[in-house]
Homo-oligomer: A and B are copies of this chain.
Amino acid sequence: MITYDLNLRWQAGDEANELMTEAFGNLIYEREKGVAGYYNLPVNSKLIVTEVQAFMASSEVVKKSDTIVVIGIGGSSLGTKAVDSMLRHKYPNAKRLLFLENPDPVDLERKFSTIEKERSIFIVISKSGTTVETISIFKAVLKRFDIDLQSDDKERVIAITDEGSALCHFVDTHGLKAYTIGHNVGGRFSVLSSVGVVPLTIAGYDTCSLLAGSAKMVERFFDAKEEHMLIKAAFIATNWREYRMNVLFAYGNLLEDFTKWYVQLWGESLGKIDRCGNRVGPTPIGHIGSVDQHSFLQLVMQGPRDKSVTFLKVEDFEKDIKIPDINLEHIQKCDYVNGRSFNELLNAECDATMESVSNEEVPVDMITLDRVDERNIGELILYYELLTSLVGSMLHIDTYDQPGVERGKKILVEKFGR
């Protein structure tokens, strides 16, 4: 179960109420007309899980593998990584997921040195099929591990891409196993498509429950409207010029990759030129509690009132360590947590920080997971995706494109003197 509490210090007026009604209608339209495909993934991807499970049952290569190497960047890795980071501690027997993302020689060398071909599955993921980082790393992997696509090696290689892409044609040529994404599912909305479901299922995670949790969120939203989401979206969309940043302050290291996924989802979806030609969009920032209470918090407390803060808390980590009832001479000042647990301390810090930030009149809200499990993660993913679509609709932008990143790519090609 997830609970959502708002303390935004803001009341929706007539204009905001209109925006909410309009945005809700837009999302119904987007879903019905297939403008954005992610709404239907929780249901549609169940088929992929079934298919992957059948493949796993029949593939000796998969059975003998303990590592899934995911070659992909941005939307092709962030979501899978986020889910893996959140669930890993509960699955001691899950296969290792190793992400080759950045074309960074030091990082690649370090990761390459931990890969054994005979115990690995290689999943190359590129929506466009021509992501230069991903294709270059894929080539380096083929060479480094002497993977011959004419031989049995090809059973270790899976591709995930859009139908009709260059990578898709490559796959056909070699008869590789492949899954498609769907043209109306953007990279940053693709974690519940084959992009996330294939590697997570092969790794051993219960992706059925992940999809079930997300399906329920879609249902609840379209049936019951989830008014707290509409209000939060309207607050962000109408106040972003004052509160230019939204800080996702997540308590627990296992949530760090989720904050990175959120930053991509918001950054690429909402940083746009709107239909009137204005540059718009709030800036997403991720932080981890309680570590960043010792870093970013001072700025939130006494710096300019240009941020809203969303706290993300896990009620029960289901693993806990007691703080021993030890009295250290002269340091008794810290004894007030003796006999309590780290889970309690972390959450009390979250609550205390939210209270102190809110007392400074900073708009805050809190998302509380009763625990980290597949259903809650599925719900949380959909919560953020729906929220993003709502804000995008209210900002009058195209939430699903990313025209701004093309220019850098062109300059890159020129630099290499093509």
Contacts and interface: CB of A to CB of B under 8 A. Distances in A.
Interface of A: 73-75, 78, 89, 101-110, 112, 129-133, 135-136, 138-140, 142-143, 166-167, 169-170, 173-174, 187-188, 241, 244-245, 251-254, 260, 263-264, 266-268, 270-273, 279-281, 283, 285, 288-307, 317, 319-324, 326, 328-331, 333-334, 336-338, 340-343, 345-346, 348-349, 351-353, 355-357, 359, 402-405, 407-409, 411-416, 418
A75 B295 CA distance: 8
Nearest to A403: B302
A67 B112 CA distance: 24
What are the 6 tightest A-B residue pairs by CB atom distance, in nearest-first order? A74-B294, A271-B299, A271-B303, A301-B404, A264-B295, A169-B330
A145 to B, nearest CB: 12
A297 to B, nearest CB: 5
B296 A103 contact: no
11 contacts: A89-B109, A104-B317, A105-B321, A139-B326, A266-B299, A268-B299, A285-B285, A294-B405, A301-B405, A302-B404, A356-B407
Contact of A336 (B140, B266, B402, B418): B418
A140 B324 contact: yes
B75 A293 contact: no
A106 B253 contact: yes
Give the most central of A273, A302, A320, A407: most B CB within 10 Å: A302
Contact of A166 (B131, B331, B416): B331
A416 B142 CA distance: 56
B307 A356 contact: no
A334 B130 contact: yes
Contact of A326 (B142, B290, B355): B142
A247 B254 CA distance: 24
A105 B317 contact: yes
Contact of A279 (B109, B271, B293, B302): B302
Contacts of A293: 74, 405, 408
Contacts of A320: 105
A348 B105 CA distance: 14
Contact of A135 (B173, B306, B331, B355): B331
Nearest to A173: B329
Contacts of A170: 328-331
Given A132-B337, A291-B74, A105 B343 contact: yes
B306 A244 contact: yes
Contact of A104 (B139, B260, B346): B346
A301 B407 contact: yes
A392 to B, nearest CB: 12
B280 A304 contact: yes
A356 B411 contact: yes
